[in-house]
Amino acid sequence: MMSHLEALQRLDAILDDRKVQIVDLRHYLHRHPELSRQEFKTTSHLADLLGDEGIGHQVMPTRRGLVVNLLNGRGPARRVAFRADMDALPIQDGKKNRAYQSQVERVMHACGHDVHSAALWGALVALHQLLNEYHLECPIDWRFLFQPAEEVAEGAREMIHHGALDGVEAIYCVHVEPTLTAGTLGLKTGVLMAACDLVEITIRGRGAHGARPHQSRDPVAAAFQLGQALYGIGPRSIDSRRASVFSLCQVHAGSSNNVIPVDAKLGGTLRTMDLETRDEWIRCIRAICQGVATATDTEIQVEFSGGVPQVFNDEKLMVIADRVARRVVGESNVATIELPSMGAEDFAFYLERIPGALIRVGSSSDDVGAPPLHTPNFDVDDRGLIAAARFFAHLALEWSYSHSQATG
């Protein structure tokens, strides 16, 4: 069998040869983003590229999402999976003066999913080429998941429903991080990201002429009071030693400047690090809504939905990830993440079933700056993309050689 060092050296050589293709794919995806639940062309494009490489693949029944298996060829084996997400966000590209800026009005990759997909594709084709050229017999099967609808917390469950985790014992993914420089990898064992619930509040009152508010039960006025109460009373009712964030992100009411509407709607998120704090917040939000409803003579209904659990990085999997990260980017470019993020990731749904880990990939540089995620000027230095592709590929090979030594 080819030595570990020889395989890694050849793998890096293949990735170097593929670098232009990997970057071109990321730029293509950035120019042609698709929103959650609409990733048909992205899926088709990736499928065509895999077909051109002679790599078998399975398109999900929804025609959104792909599963690819690279098999060891020696019968049943252990299986590890690697996941990338594909969907974009309803944000207008900030005209960052790049040849690859989005060509789709009010849609852009502002969270790096173009990077994740291109990096996973690069690792996949490099490993496929390595297997074919050297006929490696690996004791680990590799599965690659190109997942839709992460931003609406639906895609992971769709993939699981269609068998993406069947026979898989561990799973990894990466996510770009603008607070880290390109070429850096960020690691944290344990809780990495918060649980998240969507919060939708509907206020029903009675409409009236804008000149006669006394004839109304004004839902807009109630919405103002409710927002102030939730931001004021809520945080002061929850144990401040426990991390949590409640944010109102949408307010919708009325369609005319001189008509008091019948209803108003508010939407936001609740992010917590433990179930006790989550339950406290839910009780508090419901109580505040009831109090404002009574005070304003309106009806207020609150719903919590789409709950995403925490991302918890498995300790044993992180030992492997740490070893690979230090080899791929060097000791000085491995950052320890001290505190968990209040952001959420539907990668957590995989982790409810099997151990896994999410690794941060630095994306900022003097060239692209460090614009935050989910903003119009977000961009990624392509050195971060290549680091992610190498990390994915080395990680897959590391699993095989580690298992060979453990069982050999």
Average pLDDT, integer, range 78-97? 94
Q: Do 327 and 231 lie in a common domain?
A: no
Q: Hey, CA dihedral for 337, 338, 342, 348, is it positive or negative?
A: positive
What is the rounded distance in angstroms from the CA atom of residue 254 to the CA atom of residue 333? 52
What is the rounded distance in angstroms from the CA atom of residue 64 to the CA atom of residue 158? 10
Q: Do 166 and 242 lie in a common domain?
A: no
The closest alpha carbon to 100, from 379, 383, 392, belongs to 379
CATH code, domain with 248:
3.30.70.360
Q: What is the mean pLDDT of the chain?
A: 94
Q: Do 199 and 67 lie in a common domain?
A: no
Assign 73 a pLDDT band (cuts: 50, 70, 90).
Answer: low
Q: Do 222 and 267 lie in a common domain?
A: yes
Per-residue confidence (pLDDT) for residue 189, from 0 to 100:
98
- The enclosing H or E element of 134 equals helix 113-134
pLDDT beyond 90 at 405: no
Provide the 10 A C-beta neighbour count for residue 13.
12
pLDDT beyond 60 at 75: no
Domain end position, chosen among 269, 286, 308: 308
What is the rounded distance in angstroms from the CA atom of residue 212 to the CA atom of residue 339? 52
Q: Do 24 and 153 lie in a common domain?
A: yes
Per-residue confidence (pLDDT) for residue 320, from 0 to 100:
97
Q: Do 173 and 221 lie in a common domain?
A: no
Per-residue confidence (pLDDT) for residue 140, from 0 to 100:
84
The answer to whether residues 320 and 395 touch, using CB atoms and an 8 Å cutoff, is: yes
What are the pLDDT digits (tens) for 10-24? 999 999 999 999 999
Per cent of the chain over pLDDT 70 is: 97
Per-residue confidence (pLDDT) for residue 223, from 0 to 100:
98
Domain end position, chosen among 277, 308, 339: 308
What is the rounded distance in angstroms from the CA atom of residue 206 to the CA atom of residue 222? 12
Residue type, 281: W
What is the rounded distance in angstroms from the CA atom of residue 108 to the CA atom of residue 111? 9
Q: Do 147 and 266 lie in a common domain?
A: no
Average pLDDT, integer, range 99-108? 97
- What tokens were used for 393? 């590929």
Assign 72 a pLDDT band (cuts: 50, 70, 90).
Answer: low
Assign 1 a pLDDT band (cuts: 50, 70, 90).
Answer: low
Highest mean pLDDT among 100-109, 237-246, 394-403 belongs to: 100-109
Per cent of the chain over pLDDT 90 is: 88
pLDDT beyond 60 at 241: yes
Per-residue confidence (pLDDT) for residue 74, from 0 to 100:
59
Residue type, 69: N
CATH code, domain with 66:
3.40.630.10
Assign 184 a pLDDT band (cuts: 50, 70, 90).
Answer: very high
Average pLDDT, integer, range 161-189? 97
The closest alpha carbon to 355, from 382, 386, 307, 319, belongs to 319
Average pLDDT, integer, range 234-261? 95
pLDDT beyond 60 at 407: no
What are the pLDDT digits (tens) for 303-355? 998 789 999 999 999 999 999 999 999 999 999 999 999 999 999 999 999 99
Domain end position, chosen among 308, 338, 355: 308
pLDDT beyond 70 at 51: yes
The number of distinct structural domains making up the chain is 2
Assign 125 a pLDDT band (cuts: 50, 70, 90).
Answer: very high
Q: Do 246 and 187 lie in a common domain?
A: no
What is the rounded distance in angstroms from the CA atom of residue 72 to the CA atom of residue 131? 9
Provide the 10 A C-beta neighbour count for residue 200.
15
Q: How is residue 216 annotated by DSSP?
A: S
What are the pLDDT digits (tens) for 276-312? 999 999 999 999 999 999 999 999 999 998 789 999 9
Average pLDDT, integer, range 151-174? 96
